Structure formats: C-alpha cells, structure tokens
Amino acid sequence: MGPQARAGPRCCALYAVLGALVCGLRPAAAMAVGDEKRSVSPVVATLCWRVEDFVVAQECTRCSSFQMKTISQCSPTGFIEKINCATSKRDEYKSCRSAVMEAHVFWRFVGTMMCVATVFAVLVVCRQRVLDRKALEKVRKQIESI
C-alpha cells in the first residue's frame, strides 16, 4: 500500500502539469483553425473575394485594437489583408494567417513537446531507480534468509 499511496499525488501533479500545457496551447490552435470554425452568415456568402478574382492591396498585417472592434474579419486570427475585387471594384478585408504567427505557434509547440519529453524521461529514470532498488532489496533479503 505504501508505494501506491506515494504514486497518487505524483500522478495528480503530472496530470495537472499536462493539463496546464494543453490549455496553454488551445488559444494558439484555435487561432490557426479560426477560418474553419466561423459560422456561415449572409454577409460571408456575399464576400466578393469568394466568387471573383481579386488583388491583394495590403499584405497580411496585425489588426489594431480599433480594427479588432470594428472589422469582424479580425477576430478569427487577429490578422487581416485588404482585398480589391476585380469585377465589382470593391475593397474588402479578409482574415489571414501571418507567417510570424504560424512560426511562433510551431516553436511554442516544439518547446512544449521538448519539456514534456524531458519530464517523462526524468520520470522513467526515477521509476527505474526505484524498481532497481526494490529488486536489490528483494535479492538481499533472499540471500540473508539462506
């Protein structure tokens, strides 16, 4: 009962750390998949860049705080680009994903996975030492009983 009682709090702590890491990645993953999760509305169906040829007038840039409040396309990713539609001659905004943001999300994921791998490697080494100690103790007791 002793070893099992000691393993309980460790497992709870490990689950808490892993949960915190997963929750920390969720907003970044949501930003990366924001275009697919938007609901369909009549405004989305009438966007000219979906049905016409267009030219990018302004490259993908981070939305300002004012744009975040006034332009609905800013909310999925926090980045927009200005589009000029060829046929209707309208200027519209389109949500986009920044290469800088994608790189940041990637390296954050890689760093998190390295940390998780390190934690598990340490746990494996510690557990192996405990098991080796128990095996040596068992052998020692068997030799003493002879």
pLDDT by residue (tens digit) across 12-57?
A: 565 666 665 555 544 444 444 444 444 444 444 467 777 777 888 8
Indicate yes or no: pTM above 0.75: no
Phi-psi map region of 89: left, alpha, beta (phi>0 left; psi -120 to 50 alpha): left
- CATH number given to 13-140: 3.30.720.220
Domain ranges of the chain: 13-140
Of 51-55, 102-106, 120-124, the one with minimum mean pLDDT is 51-55
Q: What are the distances in angstroms from CA 115 to CA 72, 97, 99, 112, 120? A: 36, 27, 24, 5, 9
Helix (H, G, I), strand (E, B) or coil at 116: helix
Find how far residue 63's CA is from the centre of its chain: 21
Closest CA to 93 of 61, 115, 137, 127: 61
